[in-house]
Amino acid sequence: MPKVVRFHETGGADVLKVEDLPLIEPGEGEVRLKVEAIGLNRAEVMFRRGQYLQNPELPSRLGYEAAGIIDAVGPGIGAIQIGGRVSTIPSFSMGKYGVYGESVIVPDSAVARYPDNLSAIEGAAIWMQYLTTFGALIEFGQLKKDDSVLITAASSSVGLAAIQITKAAGASAIATTRGADKKQFLLDAGADHVIVTDKEDLAESVIAITSGKGANIIFDPVAGPLLEKLADAAASGAIIFEYGALSPAPTIFPLFSTLAKGLTVRGYTLFEIVRDPEKLARGKKYVYDGLQSGALKPIIDRTFPLDAIAEAHQYMESNQQKGKIVVTV
Protein backbone atom coordinates (compact mmCIF):
# COMPACT_ATOMS: atom_id res chain seq x y z
CA MET A 1 0.00 0.00 0.00
CA PRO A 2 1.29 3.50 -0.81
CA LYS A 3 2.30 5.90 1.94
CA VAL A 4 0.08 8.99 2.25
CA VAL A 5 0.37 11.96 4.62
CA ARG A 6 -2.79 12.94 6.51
CA PHE A 7 -3.72 14.79 9.69
CA HIS A 8 -6.56 13.88 12.04
CA GLU A 9 -6.56 17.17 13.96
CA THR A 10 -5.36 20.68 13.25
CA GLY A 11 -2.26 21.96 14.97
CA GLY A 12 1.53 21.88 14.85
CA ALA A 13 3.69 19.89 12.46
CA ASP A 14 3.48 16.84 14.70
CA VAL A 15 -0.16 16.25 13.65
CA LEU A 16 1.11 15.08 10.24
CA LYS A 17 1.07 11.29 10.01
CA VAL A 18 2.51 9.04 7.29
CA GLU A 19 -0.07 6.27 6.80
CA ASP A 20 -0.38 3.21 4.56
CA LEU A 21 -3.60 3.48 2.56
CA PRO A 22 -5.07 1.34 -0.24
CA LEU A 23 -4.18 2.24 -3.81
CA ILE A 24 -7.03 4.27 -5.33
CA GLU A 25 -8.24 4.17 -8.93
CA PRO A 26 -8.89 7.52 -10.66
CA GLY A 27 -12.49 8.48 -11.38
CA GLU A 28 -14.09 10.51 -14.15
CA GLY A 29 -11.76 13.30 -15.25
CA GLU A 30 -8.98 12.22 -12.86
CA VAL A 31 -5.45 10.89 -13.22
CA ARG A 32 -3.16 9.06 -10.81
CA LEU A 33 0.48 9.96 -10.28
CA LYS A 34 3.37 7.91 -8.99
CA VAL A 35 4.94 10.77 -7.07
CA GLU A 36 8.67 11.53 -7.26
CA ALA A 37 8.86 14.86 -5.42
CA ILE A 38 6.59 17.24 -3.47
CA GLY A 39 7.01 21.01 -3.21
CA LEU A 40 6.02 22.58 0.11
CA ASN A 41 4.06 25.83 0.43
CA ARG A 42 3.01 28.14 3.24
CA ALA A 43 -0.61 27.46 2.32
CA GLU A 44 -0.18 23.88 3.55
CA VAL A 45 1.11 25.05 6.92
CA MET A 46 -1.92 27.30 7.30
CA PHE A 47 -4.26 24.52 6.13
CA ARG A 48 -2.73 22.14 8.69
CA ARG A 49 -3.35 24.73 11.40
CA GLY A 50 -6.95 25.34 10.30
CA GLN A 51 -6.12 28.93 9.25
CA TYR A 52 -6.46 28.67 5.46
CA LEU A 53 -9.09 29.77 2.94
CA GLN A 54 -10.46 26.21 3.06
CA ASN A 55 -11.32 24.27 6.21
CA PRO A 56 -10.04 20.68 6.38
CA GLU A 57 -12.49 17.81 6.79
CA LEU A 58 -10.69 15.42 9.12
CA PRO A 59 -8.87 13.20 8.53
CA SER A 60 -7.50 15.31 5.74
CA ARG A 61 -4.87 15.07 3.05
CA LEU A 62 -2.87 18.16 2.10
CA GLY A 63 -0.45 19.44 -0.50
CA TYR A 64 -0.67 21.35 -3.78
CA GLU A 65 2.51 20.59 -5.75
CA ALA A 66 3.98 17.28 -6.83
CA ALA A 67 5.96 15.95 -9.75
CA GLY A 68 5.60 12.40 -10.93
CA ILE A 69 4.63 9.91 -13.62
CA ILE A 70 1.03 9.29 -14.69
CA ASP A 71 0.32 5.60 -14.04
CA ALA A 72 -3.48 5.49 -14.44
CA VAL A 73 -6.24 7.61 -15.98
CA GLY A 74 -9.96 7.66 -15.32
CA PRO A 75 -12.85 7.70 -17.81
CA GLY A 76 -13.23 10.75 -20.01
CA ILE A 77 -9.52 11.55 -20.27
CA GLY A 78 -8.40 12.74 -23.68
CA ALA A 79 -4.83 13.63 -24.57
CA ILE A 80 -3.18 12.69 -21.28
CA GLN A 81 -1.08 9.56 -21.65
CA ILE A 82 0.06 6.99 -19.11
CA GLY A 83 3.80 7.41 -18.58
CA GLY A 84 3.67 11.18 -18.94
CA ARG A 85 6.12 13.20 -16.84
CA VAL A 86 4.08 15.96 -15.20
CA SER A 87 3.70 18.21 -12.20
CA THR A 88 0.56 19.54 -10.56
CA ILE A 89 -0.91 23.04 -10.80
CA PRO A 90 -2.55 24.20 -7.53
CA SER A 91 -6.15 24.41 -8.74
CA PHE A 92 -7.93 21.86 -6.55
CA SER A 93 -9.12 21.24 -3.02
CA MET A 94 -6.20 20.16 -0.83
CA GLY A 95 -8.47 18.19 1.46
CA LYS A 96 -9.79 16.07 -1.41
CA TYR A 97 -6.77 15.88 -3.69
CA GLY A 98 -3.78 16.57 -1.43
CA VAL A 99 -0.55 15.41 -3.07
CA TYR A 100 1.57 14.48 -0.03
CA GLY A 101 2.09 10.80 -0.73
CA GLU A 102 3.61 8.11 -2.92
CA SER A 103 0.48 7.76 -5.05
CA VAL A 104 -2.08 10.55 -5.53
CA ILE A 105 -5.19 11.32 -7.55
CA VAL A 106 -5.68 14.78 -9.09
CA PRO A 107 -8.04 16.30 -11.68
CA ASP A 108 -6.73 15.98 -15.23
CA SER A 109 -6.89 19.77 -15.58
CA ALA A 110 -4.32 20.11 -12.79
CA VAL A 111 -1.43 18.30 -14.49
CA ALA A 112 1.03 19.88 -16.88
CA ARG A 113 4.26 18.88 -18.55
CA TYR A 114 7.38 20.62 -17.37
CA PRO A 115 10.52 21.13 -19.46
CA ASP A 116 12.90 18.22 -19.91
CA ASN A 117 15.79 20.34 -18.64
CA LEU A 118 14.29 20.23 -15.12
CA SER A 119 14.62 17.41 -12.59
CA ALA A 120 11.57 16.06 -10.77
CA ILE A 121 12.65 18.03 -7.70
CA GLU A 122 12.64 21.22 -9.77
CA GLY A 123 9.41 20.19 -11.49
CA ALA A 124 7.68 20.09 -8.10
CA ALA A 125 8.79 23.67 -7.43
CA ILE A 126 7.44 25.71 -10.32
CA TRP A 127 3.70 26.25 -10.70
CA MET A 128 2.79 27.78 -7.34
CA GLN A 129 5.63 30.27 -7.29
CA TYR A 130 5.72 31.26 -10.95
CA LEU A 131 1.97 31.33 -11.67
CA THR A 132 1.34 33.32 -8.48
CA THR A 133 3.93 35.87 -9.53
CA PHE A 134 2.89 35.88 -13.20
CA GLY A 135 -0.69 36.70 -12.23
CA ALA A 136 0.21 39.67 -10.07
CA LEU A 137 3.13 41.20 -11.97
CA ILE A 138 2.38 40.32 -15.60
CA GLU A 139 -1.34 39.57 -15.98
CA PHE A 140 -2.75 42.23 -13.63
CA GLY A 141 0.21 44.48 -12.83
CA GLN A 142 1.22 44.93 -16.49
CA LEU A 143 4.86 45.10 -15.44
CA LYS A 144 6.91 47.34 -17.71
CA LYS A 145 10.59 47.94 -18.30
CA ASP A 146 11.90 50.58 -15.89
CA ASP A 147 9.19 49.87 -13.27
CA SER A 148 10.38 49.47 -9.68
CA VAL A 149 8.96 46.41 -7.92
CA LEU A 150 9.10 46.08 -4.14
CA ILE A 151 9.15 42.41 -3.10
CA THR A 152 8.68 41.54 0.57
CA ALA A 153 9.50 38.13 2.10
CA ALA A 154 11.85 37.94 -0.86
CA SER A 155 13.76 34.79 0.16
CA SER A 156 10.61 32.66 -0.15
CA SER A 157 10.10 30.68 -3.35
CA VAL A 158 7.44 33.15 -4.54
CA GLY A 159 9.67 36.08 -3.62
CA LEU A 160 12.54 34.62 -5.63
CA ALA A 161 10.19 33.98 -8.56
CA ALA A 162 9.17 37.65 -8.36
CA ILE A 163 12.81 38.73 -8.56
CA GLN A 164 13.34 36.56 -11.64
CA ILE A 165 10.19 37.72 -13.42
CA THR A 166 10.92 41.36 -12.60
CA LYS A 167 14.41 41.06 -14.04
CA ALA A 168 13.15 39.21 -17.12
CA ALA A 169 10.92 42.22 -17.83
CA GLY A 170 13.83 44.62 -17.53
CA ALA A 171 12.44 46.20 -14.36
CA SER A 172 14.16 46.92 -11.04
CA ALA A 173 13.73 44.41 -8.18
CA ILE A 174 13.83 45.83 -4.64
CA ALA A 175 13.83 42.93 -2.17
CA THR A 176 13.29 43.03 1.57
CA THR A 177 14.47 40.69 4.30
CA ARG A 178 14.33 41.05 8.05
CA GLY A 179 17.88 39.85 8.76
CA ALA A 180 21.20 40.73 7.18
CA ASP A 181 22.10 37.02 6.79
CA LYS A 182 19.97 36.78 3.63
CA LYS A 183 21.10 40.01 1.98
CA GLN A 184 23.93 38.60 -0.13
CA PHE A 185 21.81 35.60 -1.12
CA LEU A 186 19.12 37.92 -2.50
CA LEU A 187 21.67 40.00 -4.37
CA ASP A 188 23.12 36.83 -5.86
CA ALA A 189 19.56 35.77 -6.80
CA GLY A 190 19.22 38.89 -8.95
CA ALA A 191 17.77 41.60 -6.71
CA ASP A 192 18.99 45.07 -7.67
CA HIS A 193 18.62 46.32 -4.09
CA VAL A 194 18.04 44.59 -0.75
CA ILE A 195 16.57 46.37 2.27
CA VAL A 196 17.25 44.77 5.67
CA THR A 197 14.16 45.89 7.54
CA ASP A 198 15.56 45.15 11.02
CA LYS A 199 18.20 47.83 10.37
CA GLU A 200 16.77 50.12 7.69
CA ASP A 201 13.57 52.11 7.36
CA LEU A 202 11.60 50.47 4.56
CA ALA A 203 9.83 53.51 3.12
CA GLU A 204 12.83 55.82 3.38
CA SER A 205 15.03 53.24 1.68
CA VAL A 206 12.62 52.68 -1.20
CA ILE A 207 12.17 56.41 -1.75
CA ALA A 208 15.96 56.86 -1.81
CA ILE A 209 16.51 53.92 -4.19
CA THR A 210 13.87 55.22 -6.61
CA SER A 211 15.12 58.84 -6.52
CA GLY A 212 12.02 60.01 -4.68
CA LYS A 213 9.41 58.27 -6.84
CA GLY A 214 8.56 55.14 -4.81
CA ALA A 215 7.77 51.63 -6.04
CA ASN A 216 5.30 51.20 -8.91
CA ILE A 217 4.29 47.65 -7.94
CA ILE A 218 4.43 46.14 -4.45
CA PHE A 219 4.13 42.38 -4.00
CA ASP A 220 3.48 41.40 -0.38
CA PRO A 221 2.37 38.24 1.48
CA VAL A 222 2.69 39.71 4.98
CA ALA A 223 0.04 42.45 5.45
CA GLY A 224 -0.64 43.47 9.07
CA PRO A 225 1.09 46.68 10.19
CA LEU A 226 3.49 46.40 7.23
CA LEU A 227 0.79 47.60 4.85
CA GLU A 228 1.06 51.17 6.13
CA LYS A 229 4.83 51.18 5.48
CA LEU A 230 4.27 49.76 2.01
CA ALA A 231 1.84 52.56 1.21
CA ASP A 232 4.47 55.07 2.34
CA ALA A 233 6.97 53.39 -0.01
CA ALA A 234 4.60 53.40 -2.98
CA ALA A 235 4.78 55.68 -6.00
CA SER A 236 1.85 57.82 -7.07
CA GLY A 237 -0.67 55.53 -8.77
CA ALA A 238 1.08 52.37 -7.57
CA ILE A 239 -0.63 49.03 -7.03
CA ILE A 240 -0.08 46.94 -3.89
CA PHE A 241 -0.79 43.22 -4.27
CA GLU A 242 -1.60 41.52 -0.96
CA TYR A 243 -1.37 37.78 -1.63
CA GLY A 244 -1.04 36.46 1.92
CA ALA A 245 -1.54 37.11 5.60
CA LEU A 246 1.67 36.01 7.30
CA SER A 247 1.36 38.70 9.97
CA PRO A 248 -0.83 37.64 12.91
CA ALA A 249 -1.66 41.30 13.65
CA PRO A 250 -4.69 43.12 12.23
CA THR A 251 -4.25 44.82 8.87
CA ILE A 252 -5.20 48.49 9.04
CA PHE A 253 -6.04 50.16 5.75
CA PRO A 254 -3.65 53.09 5.00
CA LEU A 255 -6.40 55.50 3.99
CA PHE A 256 -4.52 58.79 3.84
CA SER A 257 -1.58 57.49 1.81
CA THR A 258 -4.01 55.72 -0.50
CA LEU A 259 -6.01 58.90 -1.03
CA ALA A 260 -2.99 61.14 -1.43
CA LYS A 261 -1.24 58.88 -3.95
CA GLY A 262 -4.23 57.32 -5.69
CA LEU A 263 -3.08 53.83 -4.71
CA THR A 264 -4.72 50.52 -5.54
CA VAL A 265 -4.55 47.99 -2.69
CA ARG A 266 -5.59 44.67 -4.20
CA GLY A 267 -6.25 41.30 -2.64
CA TYR A 268 -4.95 38.57 -4.90
CA THR A 269 -4.59 34.79 -4.96
CA LEU A 270 -3.32 32.27 -7.47
CA PHE A 271 -6.89 31.01 -7.98
CA GLU A 272 -7.68 34.08 -10.09
CA ILE A 273 -5.29 32.61 -12.65
CA VAL A 274 -5.75 28.86 -12.38
CA ARG A 275 -9.57 28.98 -12.48
CA ASP A 276 -9.67 31.11 -15.64
CA PRO A 277 -8.73 28.95 -18.67
CA GLU A 278 -7.47 31.87 -20.78
CA LYS A 279 -5.35 33.39 -18.02
CA LEU A 280 -4.02 29.95 -17.07
CA ALA A 281 -3.04 29.22 -20.68
CA ARG A 282 -1.12 32.50 -20.85
CA GLY A 283 0.53 31.79 -17.52
CA LYS A 284 1.55 28.25 -18.43
CA LYS A 285 3.12 29.41 -21.68
CA TYR A 286 4.96 32.25 -19.94
CA VAL A 287 6.36 29.93 -17.27
CA TYR A 288 7.19 27.08 -19.64
CA ASP A 289 9.01 29.40 -22.05
CA GLY A 290 10.90 31.06 -19.19
CA LEU A 291 12.00 27.73 -17.76
CA GLN A 292 13.15 26.50 -21.16
CA SER A 293 15.13 29.66 -21.86
CA GLY A 294 16.70 29.75 -18.40
CA ALA A 295 15.20 33.16 -17.55
CA LEU A 296 13.30 31.32 -14.80
CA LYS A 297 15.06 28.76 -12.61
CA PRO A 298 13.59 27.35 -9.39
CA ILE A 299 15.91 27.69 -6.41
CA ILE A 300 15.83 24.65 -4.13
CA ASP A 301 16.80 25.26 -0.51
CA ARG A 302 16.68 21.76 0.98
CA THR A 303 15.12 18.34 0.48
CA PHE A 304 13.61 15.94 3.03
CA PRO A 305 12.40 12.32 2.71
CA LEU A 306 8.66 11.68 2.97
CA ASP A 307 9.00 10.09 6.41
CA ALA A 308 10.43 13.43 7.64
CA ILE A 309 7.41 15.47 6.51
CA ALA A 310 6.83 16.90 10.01
CA GLU A 311 10.46 18.00 10.18
CA ALA A 312 10.12 19.61 6.75
CA HIS A 313 7.11 21.62 7.98
CA GLN A 314 8.99 22.66 11.10
CA TYR A 315 11.86 23.85 8.94
CA MET A 316 9.49 25.93 6.82
CA GLU A 317 8.01 27.52 9.94
CA SER A 318 11.51 28.41 11.17
CA ASN A 319 11.84 30.90 8.26
CA GLN A 320 15.41 29.79 7.63
CA GLN A 321 14.86 28.68 4.05
CA LYS A 322 16.12 30.46 0.96
CA GLY A 323 13.95 29.11 -1.80
CA LYS A 324 11.80 26.00 -2.13
CA ILE A 325 11.64 23.11 0.32
CA VAL A 326 11.04 19.80 -1.50
CA VAL A 327 10.18 16.34 -0.16
CA THR A 328 11.48 13.40 -2.15
CA VAL A 329 9.48 10.19 -2.47
Phi, psi angle pair for 54, to nearest 5°: -110, 150
How sure is the predictor about 53, in pLDDT bands with cuts at 50, 70 and 90? confident
Maximum CA extent, the chain: 61
What CA–CA distance (Å, rounded) separates 303 from 121? 9
Q: What is the pLDDT of residue 137?
A: 98
pLDDT band at 149 (very low <50, low <70, confident <90, very high): very high
pLDDT at 310 over 90: yes
For the CA atoms of 23, 312, 90, 127, the dihedral, rounded to the nearest 10 degrees, stands at -120
Range 106-133 average pLDDT = 96
Q: What is the pLDDT of residue 54?
A: 87
**pLDDT of 78 strictly over 80:** no
Residues 180-192: what's their mean pLDDT? 96
State how beta strands 3-7 and 16-20 pair. Answer: antiparallel
Residue 119's pLDDT band (cuts 50, 70, 90): very high
pLDDT computed for residue 43 by the predictor? 93
Residue 41 contacts residue 52 (beta carbons within 8 Å): no
Mean pLDDT value of segment 13-36 = 97
The answer to whether domain 3-126+298-328 and domain 128-271 are alike in fold is no
Give the CATH fold of the 3-126+298-328 domain.
Quinone Oxidoreductase; Chain A, domain 1 (3.90.180)
**pLDDT, the chain, mean:** 96
The pLDDT of residue 80: 84
* pTM for this entry: 0.94
Q: Is the model's pLDDT at 205 over the cut of 90?
A: yes
- What is the arithmetic mean of pLDDT over 185-201? 97
Strand partners, 16: 7
pLDDT band at 121 (very low <50, low <70, confident <90, very high): very high
Q: Helix, strand, or coil here: 39?
A: strand
Q: Is the pLDDT of residue 70 over 90?
A: yes
225-283 pLDDT, tens digit each: 999 999 999 999 999 999 998 898 999 999 999 999 999 999 999 999 999 999 999 99
Overall average pLDDT of the 191-198 stretch: 97
Identify the pLDDT of residue 325.
Answer: 98
CATH architecture of 128-271: 3-Layer(aba) Sandwich (3.40)
Domain ranges of the chain: 3-126+298-328, 128-271
Average pLDDT over residues 98-120: 96
Looking at the chain, the whole-number percentage of residues with pLDDT higher than 90 is 95
Beta strands in the chain (DSSP E): 3-7, 16-20, 30-39, 65-73, 85-88, 103-107, 111-113, 148-151, 172-177, 193-196, 215-220, 234-242, 264-267, 300-305, 324-328
